[in-house]
């Protein structure tokens, strides 16, 4: 996802099969949750060995718990465990097989900034599960974690997922289905395809609420004043305790030893450029402005302290963006070309390419803010601005569709996507079987289960 991209939920979904679970594990970076950050409360044992890699019972149980939580099921329910447990273990094995292939492929690489952005996106998604930032931070504190802990802990996992994603996308990039294959798929699965819920086809113009240039200049001026005090003799750790707005402030800004690839690139470059005891100039990252002090340094690891003046939007910044979004909405209602407005103002770089179109949403799965705003809207109406965690949206309702059984005439695009996914799953399954022929795989029985603690 690009910095401001906005992905809607697909209206059409095939029934969950092993092939689909393979793709879920590879193409979608595992959801980072606070629960998954806890240590497993079980006695570990290997459940599978893949080449030189081991899948532990605790890792499997974590994945079972997460899947149960996401599907609103009880992870300890026998029927759920008996049906989904083996499938989830198989998915984990397939993930490892794909990762082995990706690591063998010398043409696949993942840039540090790609990992950074993926971590930011997923932590933002995690924050969205809480009422507000304060509730998120309180939960982190209860778990004995910080945002930095999450980034460090999941950095390797995210890198591995991105590598798998690139390999699979390359492998599957040319998978397509003919019109005949779409019709064959529909005839075969017609009776088992789900009834489509009420849906709405939307377009939007997205204006994220970000710090203004004035706010950024103010934060930079503040960090510059702090640097002046340190240059004049103030101890760095004392300044961190007094001024830093990072959780490390209580420890004098100390964030411990960090290795290469564990920090955002700009911060990392500045930290490794320092000699022991040296203090950096002002360093800007997506989190704000920093001062960095090198405490110790050895090889490819550095022990640092830092002071952070964060870049966060002020109430005045929010008001300015709201005024701009309101003007855009008024212009659209007055007849201005919506597509042109999108190309000029929207910060969603993906939907911007197609006049802001997001596709179809099941009404029941919309953001609550969208659902409320569109309740009385008719096709063609402009709605908003509406605020979500992504920013402010000026929506255009393109079309409404009542709940209905799928048909080739009304739902061709959705059925075609289902057929493509089905074909993709079969290609993946064949590919994994080929990999498996050349890789040692030993699967242990799942019997002797322990209760999964929530």
User: Dmax over Cα atoms in the chain, in whole Å?
Assistant: 79
Burial class of residue 289 (count of CB atoms within 10 Å of its CB; 0-12, 13-18, 19+): buried
| pLDDT greater at residue 337 or residue 124 | 337
Domain parsing of the chain, residue ranges = 18-193+415-443, 199-210+314-401, 213-310
CA 391 to each of CA 207, 331, 347, 414: distance values in angstroms, whole numbers, following the listed order: 6, 19, 10, 29
CA 39 to each of CA 59, 61, 96, 428, 453: distance values in angstroms, whole numbers, following the listed order: 10, 11, 21, 32, 11
List, for residues 344-381, the tens digit of each pLDDT value: 999 998 898 899 999 888 888 888 889 888 888 999 99
Highest mean pLDDT: which of 99-108, 254-263, 386-395? Answer: 386-395
CA angle 331, 334, 339 (to 5 degrees): 60
b/e burial code for range 46-70 (CB count within 10 A of at least 16 → b): ebbbbeeeebebbbbbbbbbbbbbe
CA atoms of 295 and 61, how far apart (whole Å): 40
Residue 264 has pLDDT above 70, yes or no: yes
CA atoms of 254 and 302, how far apart (whole Å): 12
Quick one: which H or E segment has residue 313? none
CATH number for the segment(s) 213-310: 3.10.50.40
DSSP state of 108: -
Look-up: residue for tokens 């101890």? Answer: 235
Query: For residue 447, what pLDDT is reported?
Result: 66
**Mean pLDDT for the chain overall:** 82
The CATH homologous superfamily to which domain 18-193+415-443 belongs is: Porin chaperone SurA, peptide-binding domain (1.10.4030.10)
Least confident of 15-29, 307-321, 322-336, 341-355: 15-29
List, for residues 104-123, the tens digit of each pLDDT value: 888 888 888 788 888 877 77
Q: Per CATH, the architecture of 199-210+314-401 is what?
A: Roll (3.10)
Look-up: residue for tokens 């970076």? Answer: 29
Q: Which two tokens stand for residue 401?
A: 């569709």
CA atoms of 254 and 248, how far apart (whole Å): 6
List, for residues 2-33, the tens digit of each pLDDT value: 333 343 333 333 333 333 344 434 334 444 45
Do 199-210+314-401 and 18-193+415-443 have the same topology in CATH? no
CA 211 to each of CA 192, 325, 380: distance values in angstroms, whole numbers, following the listed order: 50, 16, 33
């Amino acid at each position: 996802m690009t910095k401001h991209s906005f992905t809607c939920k697909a209206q059409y979904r095939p029934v969950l099969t092993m092939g689909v679970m393979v793709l879920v594990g590879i193409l979608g970076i595992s959801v980072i949750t606070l629960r998954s950050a806890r240590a497993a409360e079980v006695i570990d044992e290997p459940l599978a060995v893949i080449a030189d890699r081991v899948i532990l019972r605790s890792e499997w149980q974590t994945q079972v718990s997460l899947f149960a939580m996401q599907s609103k099921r009880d992870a300890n329910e026998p029927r759920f465990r008996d049906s989904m447990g083996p499938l989830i273990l198989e998915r984990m094995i397939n993930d490892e097989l794909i990762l082995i292939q990706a690591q063998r492929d010398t043409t696949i690489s993942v840039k540090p900034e790609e990992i950074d952005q993926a971590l930011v996106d997923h932590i933002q998604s995690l924050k969205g599960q809480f009422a507000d930032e304060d509730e998120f931070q309180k939960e982190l504190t209860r778990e004995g974690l910080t945002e930095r802990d999450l980034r460090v802990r999941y950095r390797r996992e995210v890198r591995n997922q991105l590598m798998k994603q690139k390999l699979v996308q390359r492998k599957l990039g040319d998978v397509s289905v003919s019109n005949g294959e779409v019709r064959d798929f529909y005839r075969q699965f017609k009776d088992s395809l789900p009834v489509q819920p009420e849906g709405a086809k939307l377009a939007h113009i997205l204006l994220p609420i970000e710090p203004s240039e004035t706010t950024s200049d103010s934060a930079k001026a503040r960090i510059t004043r702090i640097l002046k005090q340190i240059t004049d003799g103030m101890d760095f750790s004392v300044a961190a305790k007094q001024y830093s707005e990072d959780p490390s402030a209580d420890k004098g800004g100390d964030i411990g030893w960090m290795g290469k690839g564990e920090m955002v690139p700009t911060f990392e470059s500045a930290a490794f450029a320092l000699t022991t005891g040296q203090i950096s100039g002002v360093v800007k990252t997506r989190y704000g402005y920093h001062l960095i002090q090198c405490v110790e340094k050895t090889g490819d690891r550095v022990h640092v302290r830092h002071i952070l003046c964060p870049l966060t939007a002020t109430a005045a910044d929010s008001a300015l963006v709201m005024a701009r979004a309101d003007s855009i909405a008024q212009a659209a209602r007055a007849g201005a070309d919506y597509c042109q407005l999108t190309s000029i103002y929207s910060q969603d770089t993906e939907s911007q390419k197609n006049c802001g179109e997001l596709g179809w949403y099941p009404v029941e799965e919309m953001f609550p803010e969208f659902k409320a705003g569109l309740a009385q809207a008719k096709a063609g109406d402009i709605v908003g601005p509406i605020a979500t965690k992504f920013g402010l949206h000026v929506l255009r309702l393109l079309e409404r569709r009542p709940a209905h059984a799928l048909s080739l005439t009304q739902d061709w695009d959705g059925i075609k996507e289902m057929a493509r996914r089905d074909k993709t799953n079969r290609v993946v399954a064949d590919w994994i079987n080929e990999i498996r022929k050349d890789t040692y795989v030993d699967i242990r029985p799942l019997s002797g289960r322990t209760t999964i603690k929530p």
